[in-house]
Copies of this chain bind each other. A is one copy, B any other.
Amino acid sequence: MQQAIAILDSGVGGLTVVKEVMRQLPQEKIIYFGDTARTPYGPRTSEEVVQFTRQIVDYLVQFQPKMIVIACNTATAVALEDIRSRVNVPVVGVIHPGARAAIKATQTGVVGVIGTDGTIRSGAYLNALKQISPAIQVVSRSCPDFVPMVEKGLFRSPETHKVVEKSLEGLSFPPMDCLILGCTHYPFLADTIGEVMGPNVSLISSADETAREISTILYQTNHLARSHETPIHQFFCSGEPAMFRHIAQDWLGEQIMLQPVVWQSPSIT
């Protein structure tokens, strides 16, 4: 049996990572968990996010994945090291891949980052960028309206443009040449964000970059899929499955095998 890549998120945002893994690594089997019952994670405390992430990982390890991908920037910011210390397979977050891509892309040395309150408050992108390249200048902004909009499937509504425009107003000064979409939900809004930021700012999707680094690490640890059979992916969500199915099938362009999961302990929902 082929070992899967386990990918988790607070909701549907991690599907942007799933889509890129399906495109860049078409032979890899994916198991996905969207914690739609408790989305969004952005406004929650670090303790809650760590606890929720642990619970999802505990659920996913029953499938013996070969890698765990925390496809949620908020959870990566606060729980990556904790999860790394708890499992014995590679754990990949979505913050460093975007940071490295920005360092590679920028010519001006000014990098923008947008994310949830939790991600921006944690300073995780700033730290990741400065750890590698201390001279880089970072302009950060939280965009708390974006995730609820995407989780409701409103990423092509007429109001989206207004909300995005208002959220990003004045962000491009000082003049940055790339902007990290520091939340896996944001690629759903990439077209609109691109229009608002203009052609001189290239968008860096933490989803696309994470898929690329998953490929790097699977290769380096000798864990790339050897099977040439088409993998059958599995999806789980903790909330109402209809909306999840609708968004997932629309975004991925194919039918999905979806199973709802009901958290047993009401204290942590």
Interface residues, chain A, with chain B CB atoms under 8 Å away: 24-27, 90, 92, 96-97, 100-101, 103-104, 131-135, 208, 211-213, 215-217, 219-220, 224, 228
| B-side contacts of A97, CB under 8 Å | 216
Contact B212 A134 (CB under 8 A): no
| B-side contacts of A215, CB under 8 Å | 100, 103, 132
| B-side contacts of A133, CB under 8 Å | 24-27
Known: A131-B224, A132-B224, A228-B134. A24 touches B103 (CB 8 A): yes
Kindly list 14 other residue pairs between chains A and B, CB separation below 8 angstroms, not including A24-B104, A27-B132: A24-B100, A24-B132, A25-B132, A26-B133, A90-B220, A96-B216, A96-B219, A100-B212, A101-B212, A131-B224, A132-B215, A216-B217, A217-B217, A220-B220
| B-side contacts of A216, CB under 8 Å | 96-97, 100, 213, 216-217
Bound complex: CA A100 to CA B132 (Å) = 22
| B-side contacts of A134, CB under 8 Å | 26-27, 228
Bound complex: CA A101 to CA B24 (Å) = 10
| B-side contacts of A26, CB under 8 Å | 133-135
Q: In whole Å, how far is A219's beta carbon from the nearest beta carbon of chain B?
A: 6
Contact A211 B104 (CB under 8 A): yes
**9 sampled A-B residue pairs with Cβ under 8 A:** A24-B104, A24-B133, A25-B132, A27-B133, A27-B134, A90-B220, A100-B219, A131-B224, A132-B215
Bound complex: CA A104 to CA B216 (Å) = 12
Bound complex: CA A135 to CA B24 (Å) = 11
Bound complex: CA A90 to CA B135 (Å) = 27
Contact A220 B217 (CB under 8 A): yes
Bound complex: CA A224 to CA B130 (Å) = 12
Q: In whole Å, how far is A240's beta carbon from the nearest beta carbon of chain B?
A: 34
Bound complex: CA A97 to CA B215 (Å) = 10
Q: In whole Å, how far is A134's beta carbon from the nearest beta carbon of chain B?
A: 7
Residue of B nearest to A219 (CB): B96
| B-side contacts of A92, CB under 8 Å | 220
The 4 closest A-B pairs by CB, nearest first: A100-B215, A104-B212, A216-B216, A24-B103
Residue of B nearest to A131 (CB): B224
Residue among A24, A92, A215, A228 facing the most chain B CB atoms (10 A cut-off): A215
| B-side contacts of A90, CB under 8 Å | 220
Bound complex: CA A139 to CA B213 (Å) = 25
Residue of B nearest to A134 (CB): B228
Bound complex: CA A208 to CA B107 (Å) = 13
